[in-house]
Amino acid sequence: MLNAILFDLDGTLVNTDILHFAIWQELLREQGITIDRAFYNEYMVGHRNEAIVRDVLGHLPQEAGMKLAHRKEALFRERGGQMTRLEGLDELLRWRSHHHLATAVVTNAPRDNAEMMLTALDLGHSFDTVVISEELPQGKPHPLPYQTALERLSVPAETAIAFEDTPLGIRSAVGAGVVTIGMATTHSPDVLQDAGAKFAIADFRREKLWQWLEARVTS
């Protein structure tokens, strides 16, 4: 039986990667670095800022790299006030309430970003808990963020499902023992399934998802 639904935030509840990508392009050009979408998808999407500073800004001292990352997040918060929930999310949240399922957001985004996005989406009070991986010893792809969500909700992994849009996030959820659906907003379905997703969908309206969900609550 299904007891809980766990959601990533960026690229899952809302498609924000176009804005993240544009801001990183702008700031990295100032550093003499040009990135394309393929580079961004591999080294930056879903990664904590510490990893981005290490892997992309290694030419800078750690303190300077983190200062640039914090500047990027501030620009994201300034420019990201108008956001739209991913298609079908409202229906899924109503379905969740009808079936009395616990919910959590599990994100590698900084807390200020997560709170801004949830407020902009009018979802600030829609989830039982929000797990910020930067506040844990390990972030995604380590399973700890999803393990923490399961612990807070007091549900076993086999009674939860997760929605994730990156291979990194999928590995985190699957590593915690949670069946995971890929959200093909930033990566192709094949890439997400290769990372361990059970299947992948473009948004929450897909008939395949609803048939699978109904089977989970009636089995």
Tell me what pLDDT residue 154 has: 98
What the block records as the tokens of 129 is 């808990």
Q: Which of 8, 17, 55, 194 is catalytic?
A: 8
For 172-201, give the DSSP string. HHHHTT-EEEEETTSS-HHHHHHTT-S-EE
Active-site residue, 203 included: no
Residue 122 to residue 114: CA distance in whole angstroms: 12
Residue 183 CB coordination number (10 Å): 28
CB 2 within 8 A of CB 218: no
What the block records as the tokens of 212 is 């699978």
Active-site residue, 90 included: no
pLDDT tier, 168 (very low <50, low <70, confident <90, very high otherwise): very high
What the block records as the tokens of 19 is 């804005």
Residue 179 to residue 109: CA distance in whole angstroms: 22
Backbone φ and ψ of 123, nearest 5°:
-120, 15
Q: Which of 10, 112, 122, 128 is catalytic?
A: 10
Residue 81 has pLDDT above 90, yes or no: no
Percent of the chain with pLDDT over 90: 71
What the block records as the tokens of 50 is 């510490």
pLDDT in tens, 183-202: 999 899 999 999 999 999 99
pLDDT tier, 219 (very low <50, low <70, confident <90, very high otherwise): low
pLDDT tier, 83 (very low <50, low <70, confident <90, very high otherwise): confident
Beta-bridge partner residues of 106: 131
